[in-house]
Structure 1
């Protein structure tokens, strides 16, 4: 019986610790709603102070998660962006504009060149000599076409390899982006919910502390 109870308590403990953010939210909520009323002069003032602290905590948590999300995507922090924007404010004084002209060089290079020597048969040659010239011209054309086909085949293979490499690179970037988004959602989602919960609770408690104190006094009587 004792072993069964210990095993059950262990399973309950593991089950409860699956959501540490929730228990942190509850612990902070209870702490800030119970301690200030004990310290302050009146319960209403203590609830008001506790609500204010919850509001500040909620805003801080939301701001922290937004800042972390911006850094994950490489965005400029809001404060730096605001300072840079203020520095770009138009001035009444005319600004001097400097135009710098630099020379540009354009180089055109060719990877390869083919030179074809065409032997035209002359009329004063014999028929055999003219036939040999035509054969040499056909052989030269055949070699040139073979060389051209080889270069085209090599260019196609290189292009296919580049396309495959680019496809793999884009796929890896897509996987990295997906993991980044999943990590951001998993790490900050519950924290943002807790921050919003603290903020809403703080607004309610700080807005109607007298009513809440009246309800608590009736419940404790």
Structure 2
């Protein structure tokens, strides 16, 4: 098992932590079964039990070279008391990692009440930076990181295209079942050279810093 990982920015609002622990499982279960989250994840079971969340965590911990599920928590002074949000804001990480090919897929689940406040951008920035940074610098050294989302998920698609600058690679026709129907999924990717040299890292870092500054100014004024 690799050493524990803690990721945060000097003036950031959140910390990513791995490995995930038992204490957070009930809060993860609440987020994973929230109907607002499930609208873009039709293949997830809305009646999933807490035991299934625990099993998912423990199973993935046995394969740390394929899965890295980070938990997203507040950092002081951005506490639940000051933000009105839960301490656990969601999960972010990598699935189906191929260290041999230096490629992976990334995904994020954010508490619905934390949407549109910059938390997702900050979490994904930390996750992607860790993914693209070289092993010598404490990262995983990926060359390619992919995202898959529902074709109807305009918010996520807009973020991938505008905030991150990811490239749309194609549409997976009727890839996911939603009730009695099938819906399309879309795939995006970003390469290490686009992250480091193409402006993606700098653009996303600026977006995160603007959100943190705005939140700090709002807290000071209240």
Q: Which has the higher strand share?
A: 2
Q: Which has the higher helix share?
A: 1
TM-score bracket, normalised by the shorter chain, equals under 0.3
